[in-house]
Amino acid sequence: MATGADREPGDTQANSTPWAASSSTKVAAKDWATSIGSSRDSGGWKWIAPDLRGHGETQVRNGAPCSMDACTRDLVALWDELGVERTHLVGYSMGGRLALHIATRRPERLLSVLTIGAHAGLDEDAREGRRRGDEALAERIEKQGMESFVDYWGSLPLFAGLERRGPSYVAQVRADRLQNHAAGLACSLRGMGAGAMEPLWDELPNVTVPCTFVAGQLDHGYVASARRLASTVPNGRFEIVLRAGHAVHQERPDAFARVLAAHLAMARAVGASTSSSTLD
């Protein structure tokens, strides 16, 4: 997950306009490095990229919950520690679902939301099937370990687009995924998988911050979800990235950086317009 702050040229102190990016299950904060770098160089934003519970360098203690509510509390506590009042929030896959959860639970802390390859929850029949699948996968991780799981996960069609970055990049992604801990990922699947998530669709019409919902052209199911999200949220926009699959920010980082820059510019403009209307 990553947070960053908008700065005036030459200002060495970040103000209270950061953005935070949350990763999906099985990836850590470092996965944002290329996209963050591309946007930062052109936009003058400061970023912070913490790992979510169960991911990257975090450790899950016995009995500690992995849930949307727990991760929301973690992030709000981090923002408080950093003196961040409101933030632009960006999330990929599971991190996108977390961003939507935060938008419905703590909207006063957000300036905007951007999701990549995300949805707002499954219907009950689909949730039950997904819960069983998430539990089976969690047990597999615990029994067979990280290497077996990472090889299985990397073989899924969902991530085929990463192959276009070349074998060295795919090898680096695999090595990064192996840095996760089996207990943490199992905890995350059980508590934050799509099967565990309470649907948010009925709450999204109350989300008023600017939102952009991104999907890769080849990620057909999530293209439909992104369109639905954009039509459900009052200030929602849909963006499709051509020749990309699920992991848009990894498959086409330069294209994603342009989408992110446009989103942040749009959010700034909406914020300025709102402030002007309030003053009037």
pLDDT tens column, 135-148: 999 999 999 999 99
List helix spans (H) across 116-246. Answer: 124-144, 146-154, 167-177, 182-192, 220-232
CA gap 12, 14 in Å, rounded: 7
Reading across the β-sheet that carries 18-22, which strands appear in turn? 47-48, 2-5, 18-22, 87-92, 110-116, 211-216, 236-241
4, 47 Cβ separation under 8 angstroms: yes
265, 116 Cβ separation under 8 angstroms: no
Instruction: For domain 2-120+198-279, say whether CATH 3.40.30.10 is its number.
Output: no
Task: Tell me how crowded residue 62 is: count the other CB atoms within 10 A of its CB.
Answer: 5
Q: Which two tokens stand for residue 179?
A: 């840095």
In order along its 280 residues, the chain shows pLDDT tens digits of 444 433 332 232 333 345 565 555 444 455 666 666 555 544 556 677 788 888 877 877 777 789 999 999 999 999 999 888 999 999 999 999 999 999 999 999 999 999 999 999 999 889 999 999 999 999 999 999 999 999 999 999 999 999 999 999 999 999 989 988 999 999 999 999 999 999 999 999 999 999 999 999 999 999 999 999 999 999 999 999 999 999 999 999 999 989 998 999 999 888 666 654 444 4
Q: Phi and psi dihedrals of 199, rounded to 5?
A: -60, 140
Task: Tell me how crowded residue 242 is: count the other CB atoms within 10 A of its CB.
Answer: 9
pLDDT computed for residue 16 by the predictor: 35
Tens of pLDDT, residue by residue over 144-182, are 999 999 999 999 999 999 999 999 999 999 998 998 899
pLDDT computed for residue 50 by the predictor: 80
Say whether 76 sits in a helix, a strand or coil.
helix
Strand partners, 21: 2, 90
21, 38 Cβ separation under 8 angstroms: no
pLDDT computed for residue 37 by the predictor: 59
Q: How far is CA 204 from CA 104, 107, 211, in A?
A: 7, 11, 11
Most distant CA pair in the chain, distance:
63
pTM: 0.87
In degrees, to the nearest 5, what angle opens at C-alpha 84 toward C-alphas 20 and 261? 40
CA gap 184, 165 in Å, rounded: 28
Q: How many residues make up the chain in this entry?
A: 280
In degrees, to the nearest 5, what angle opens at C-alpha 250 toward C-alphas 152 and 164? 75
